[in-house]
Amino acid sequence: MSYYGNGIGQVTAPKVAISTLIIGGTVVAFAVGGVISAFSDEFFLDGKTGRDYKKVAKRNAALGGALGAFAAAGILAA
């Protein structure tokens, strides 16, 4: 039961749902992980303040979205 015939594999509703969760999960994980990493580097290594955590979160969320989209495309193509 694919939506587009046999051209790109079986694109079904469960695969689309899992792909959506993968993209969202990687965005959140990278954003939170980047902020925690920046905070721990600041706290344990140099002790300097001045990092913009909002900028770190946005940059890592974009990275997570790109990697999540790549993983979701792999699932949809399989």
For tokens 């939170």, the residue is 32
Give CB contacts under 8 A, 24+ apart, made by 16-24: 16/76, 18/75, 19/71, 19/72, 19/73, 19/75, 19/76, 20/72, 22/68, 22/71, 22/72, 22/75, 23/65, 23/68, 23/69, 23/71, 23/72, 24/68
Name the pTM for this structure: 0.70
Instruction: Render pLDDT for 2-34 as a digit per residue (tens, 0 to 9).
Output: 555 555 567 788 888 888 898 999 999 988 998
Which amino acid, 33?
G
At 19, list the tokens: 């792909």
